[in-house]
Amino acid sequence: MSKFASALVEWQKQHGRRGLPWQGTRDPYRIWLSEVMLQQTQVAAVIPYYERFLRRFPSIEALASASEDEVLQLWSGLGYYARGRNLHAAAKAVVARGSFPGTAAEIEELPGIGRSTAAAIAAFAFGERAAILDGNVKRVLARCFGIEGWPGEKAVEEALWGRANRLLPQNEIEAYTQALMDLGASVCTRTPKCSACPVSRNCSARRQGRTAEIPAPRPRRALPQKCVTWLLLLNRGQVLLEKRPAPGIWGGLWSFPEAPVNDVGDYCAAKLGCEILTKKKLAGLEHGFTHFRLQIRPLLCHVAKTPQLESPGRLWIGIGQARDAAVPAPVRKLLCRDFLHLLATR
Nearer CB in complex with ligand SF4: 213/263: 213
Which stretch in 94-102, 166-174, 193-201, 257-265 sits in contact with ligand SF4 by CB under 6 A? Answer: 193-201
By CB under 6 A, residue 8 contacts ligand SF4 = no
Beta-carbon contacts of 293 under 8 Å, excluding residues fewer than 6 positions away, are: 223, 224, 225, 226, 286, 287
By CB under 6 A, residue 205 contacts ligand SF4 = yes
Q: Name the pairing type of β-strands 225-235 and 254-255.
A: unpaired
By CB under 6 A, residue 163 contacts ligand SF4 = no
User: Across the strands, what pairs with 234?
Assistant: 239, 302
Known catalytic membership, residue 35 = yes
Q: Is 202 left (phi over 0), alpha (psi -120 to 50) or beta?
A: alpha
Contact 339, 323 (CB under 8 A): yes
- The conformation of residue 271, written as its DSSP 8-state character, comes to I
| 33, 36, 63, 197: which one binds ligand SF4 (CB under 6 A) | 197
Cα 237 to Cα 279, 299, 322, 339: the distances in Å are: 16, 16, 11, 10
By CB under 6 A, residue 140 contacts ligand SF4 = yes
At its nearest, how many Å lie between ligand SF4 and the CB of residue 179? 12
By CB under 6 A, residue 199 contacts ligand SF4 = yes
| 8, 160, 167, 187: which one binds ligand SF4 (CB under 6 A) | 187
By CB under 6 A, residue 203 contacts ligand SF4 = yes
Q: CA 276, CA 269: separation in Å to the nearest integer?
A: 8
| 12, 34, 211, 229: which one binds ligand SF4 (CB under 6 A) | 211
> 3-class SS at 118?
helix
At its nearest, how many Å lie between ligand SF4 and the CB of residue 141? 9
By CB under 6 A, residue 133 contacts ligand SF4 = no
- The 10 Å CB-count burial string (b at 16+, else e) for 63-85 is bbebebeebbbbbbebeebebbb
| 30, 85, 88, 143: which one binds ligand SF4 (CB under 6 A) | 143
Contact 182, 16 (CB under 8 A): yes
By CB under 6 A, residue 276 contacts ligand SF4 = no
By CB under 6 A, residue 181 contacts ligand SF4 = no
At its nearest, how many Å lie between ligand SF4 and the CB of residue 202? 9
Contact 318, 236 (CB under 8 A): no
Measured in residues, the chain has a length of 346
Q: Name the pairing type of β-strands 225-235 and 293-305.
A: parallel
- Which residue among the candidates 10, 35, 153, 174 is catalytic per the annotation? 35
**Residue 75: closest CA among 331, 267, 324, 257:** 324
By CB under 6 A, residue 200 contacts ligand SF4 = yes
By CB under 6 A, residue 33 contacts ligand SF4 = no
Contact 128, 100 (CB under 8 A): no
At its nearest, how many Å lie between ligand SF4 and the CB of residue 22? 25
Which stretch in 39-47, 194-202, 273-281, 334-342 sits in contact with ligand SF4 by CB under 6 A? Answer: 194-202
At its nearest, how many Å lie between ligand SF4 and the CB of residue 199? 5
By CB under 6 A, residue 215 contacts ligand SF4 = no
At its nearest, how many Å lie between ligand SF4 and the CB of residue 163? 13
Residues that bind ligand SF4 (CB under 6 A): 140, 143-144, 187-188, 192, 194, 197, 199-200, 203, 205-206, 211
Catalytic residues: 35
